[in-house]
Amino acid sequence: MKMYVISDNLDTWIGMRLAGIEGSVVNGKDELKAALDRVLADKEIAIIVLTEKFGREYPELIDEVRLSRSLPLLIEIPDRHGTQRGENFITAYVNEAIGLKL
Q: Residue 82, Cβ neighbours under 10 Å: how many? A: 8
- Which helix (H) or strand (E) segment holds residue 3: the answer is strand 2-7
Question: Residue 27: which domain range?
Answer: 2-98
Chain segment 43-62, per-residue pLDDT in tens: 999 999 998 888 888 888 88
DSSP per residue, 31-91? HHHHHHHHHHH-TTEEEEEEEHHHHHH-HHHHHHHHHH-SSSEEEEE-BTTB--S-TTHHH
Total count of domains within the chain: 1
Checking if the pLDDT of 4 tops 90, the result is yes
Q: Are strands 22-25 and 2-7 parallel, antiparallel or unpaired?
A: parallel
Checking if the pLDDT of 12 tops 80, the result is yes
* DSSP-derived secondary structure letter, 46: E
Q: How confident is the model over 31-36, as a mean pLDDT?
A: 92
CATH code of the domain containing 73: 3.40.50.10580
**pTM score, whole prediction:** 0.74
Distance, C-alpha 102 to centroid of its chain: 27
CA–CA separation, 83 vs 11, rounded Å? 15
